[in-house]
Amino acid sequence: MSTSDAGGGTPSVSPPGRAVVSRLIATFSGTVGLGVKILLLGFMNAVAVWAAAILAGDGKWVALGVLVASTAAIDAVYMFSRRAIPGKFLVPGTVLLLAFQVTPIVYTVDVAFSNYSTGHIATKSEAIAAVTQNTLEPPPSGKSYVMAPARDADGKLVLILRDEETGEAFAGTRKGLEPLDPGAVQGQAGAITAVEGYTLITGGELFTLDREIRSLLVPTEGSAAIRAEGLSTAIELQPTLRYDARANTFTRITNGLVFRDNRHGSFVAANGEELEPGWRTGVGFENFGRILHDPLISKPFLRVLTWTFAFAFLAVGLAFALGLFLAITLDKPGMRFQRFYRSLLIIPYAIPGFLSLLVWSGLLNDDFGVVNRLLNLNVPWLFDPWWAKVSIILVSLWLTFPYFFLVCLGALQSIPAELTEAARVDGGGRLQIFRRVTLPLLMVAVAPLLIASFAFNFNNFNNIYFLTAGGPAATDQSVAGSTDILISYTYKIAFQAGKGQDYGLATSMAIVIFFIVGTVSALSFSRTKALENLQ
């Protein structure tokens, strides 16, 4: 109950919602609020400590410094500063903005200017170690061993080895082989079951150490070493390449072929042979240059770009035209079953889009699709390049027209009836009134939505992937299919092109798509400014 008004009249009653909000504010402004604040800040600081330990272990000192400074600033804002009331409301939004908007954008740009792809993921030092391991081969007189992973008295990982030919037993470490008494190693042929002085690793722990076991090299004579092959055998290997850290080169021991750093994340010989894996490094604008100059990328890119514009314009234009037609048809007062018709038209919009696409993919199937069987047709809806494009447009029309029907219906009902009545009195026909009065006023509200729908369909991955998967295959033998748009083409480049994943090229194409959509949207919005004068 609030106080009486200035005139001494009947006191007013506060709305129930406002009273609840006031009580909540009062509750969380005292000791309870302080406790909740301390609890939340404690949880945040615990997560920060955990993240700091990981960053310190990985040597990410810049990120660690940013984390420490940010955590300290947030603690200061919420605990020690009485003048930072605005900051208490800005901090959550700023953190979420950085986490979900700024960071992905910065990371995408960083990847676009690198060679990040299959075979170029690790650092250079990791790539050198991997090349050294991958090029190990058994020497002519190499030995094989029955092997069992174990831990010594200090808990360190060792390989218990037994030569099946001589019966000799060893404990293998990174320092070399330590002979064991053959009687101390128990087990049958092909397996070791127990070793005196060592604890065999078994069960789940054995599989968690799989990578560590495979990376353990036990040096023998010269440059040879013993490496585990699986979890029960080991073989003696020797390197076929020698790395020179001073010259930054690999040399093949058998023929002296030299592999040099090509400054693009790989060791390459003069004859073009490349060692794998490589490493991730910056390549400048090379990925953008590939889009323009590499025939395997640029030729399908132009074809896909043309179809993307056609698909976006047709999907939006046809859906808007059909939605407007139905809105005008069902906007007549006194029409029977009007609500039923309106509800019926919204059904495609109410069903989840990806589910509708999967259903239509089955309906349009050549062999058992209901459409061909019901209409007694033999149309290759999804397996002919042109018919597949028609199918995508029709299905997109089915999914989109209810949206424009609702938008146009609301916009039509917001147009003052006096304007159309005045135009009718002045002798205007239905077509003239629609063209000169209804449509311009309608476009004031609908034009921004048309631009947004165009941007959405320009990147409408679902309509392509779930219906045709970008197929059928194109005649240029590229990774882009006949119905791929830029976003699905980018997806295929990222996961299905070349040696495997090519994230650098895919992210550079994503940036190109962003600028294309941004340019088209900016030009469209500038053109729609003329409609503002109609209000």
What phi and psi values does residue 221 have, to the nearest 5 degrees?
A: -85, 140
Residue 25 pLDDT grade (very low, low, confident, very high; cuts 50, 70, 90): low
Give the integer Cα–Cα distance in Å for 425 and 172: 102
Half-sphere exposure of 523 (CA within 13 A, CB side): 7
**Which pLDDT value is given to residue 18?**
63
Query: 1 pLDDT exceeds 50?
Result: no
Say if strands 241-244 and 267-269 run parallel, antiparallel, or are unpaired: unpaired
Of the candidate ranges 22-31, 194-203, 409-418, the one whose mean pLDDT is the lowest:
22-31
Provide mean pLDDT across the span 59-73: 90
Output phi, psi for 161, to 5 deg. Answer: -120, 140
Rg (CA), the chain: 35
Q: What is the mean pLDDT of residues 327-347?
A: 86
In sequence order, what are the beta bridge partners of 260? 249, 268
Report the pLDDT value the prediction gives residue 477, as an integer from 0 to 100.
Answer: 72
Instruction: Output the pLDDT for position 7.
Output: 47
Residue 92: its pLDDT value, please?
86
* Residue that has been written with the tokens 């939006």 in this structure: 316
DSSP-derived pairing of the beta strands 241-244 and 233-239: unpaired
State the pLDDT confidence band at 5, using cuts at 50, 70 and 90: very low
Average pLDDT of span 482-502? 88
Percent of the chain with pLDDT over 90: 47
Tell me: pLDDT of 533 over 60. no
Of 498 and 111, more confident: 111
Q: How far apart are CA 342 and CA 349, in angstroms?
A: 12
Query: What's the whole-number average pLDDT of the chain?
Result: 87
- Using the predicted structure, report yes or no on whether residue 12 has a pLDDT greater than 60: no
pLDDT of residue 29: 66
Here the tokens at position 261 are 């750093």
Range scoring the smallest mean pLDDT among 185-199, 341-355, 519-533: 519-533
- pLDDT average, residue stretch 357-362: 94
What is the rounded CA–CA span in Å between residue 164 and residue 169? 9
Helix H, strand E, coil C: the string for 26-77 is HHCCCHHHHHHHHHHHHHHHHHHHHHHHHHHHHCCHHHHHHHHHHHHHHHHH
Task: Identify the sign of the CA torsion 113, 116, 120, 124.
Answer: positive
Pairwise pLDDT comparison (136 vs 33), residue with the higher score: 136
255-271 per-position pLDDT tens digit:
999 999 999 999 999 99
Encoded tokens for 454: 């165009």
Sign of CA dihedral 440, 444, 445, 451: positive
Which domains can be identified in the chain, with CATH numbers? 16-112 (1.20.58), 122-135+244-279 (no CATH), 137-239 (2.40.430), 293-534 (1.10.3720.10)
| β-pairing verdict for 157-163 and 144-151 | antiparallel
Lowest mean pLDDT among 186-195, 249-258, 392-401, 430-439: 186-195
pTM of the complete model: 0.79
- Token pair 């070793």 in the structure block, residue: 195
Nearest to 262 by CA among 124, 117, 122: 124
Local confidence band at 27 (pLDDT 50, 70, 90 cut-offs): low
Q: What whole-number distance in Å separates Cα of residue 101 and Cα of residue 37?
A: 26
Q: Give me the pLDDT at residue 248, please.
A: 94
Helix axes 486-495, 295-329, angle to 10 degrees: 140
Residue 535 has pLDDT above 60, yes or no: no
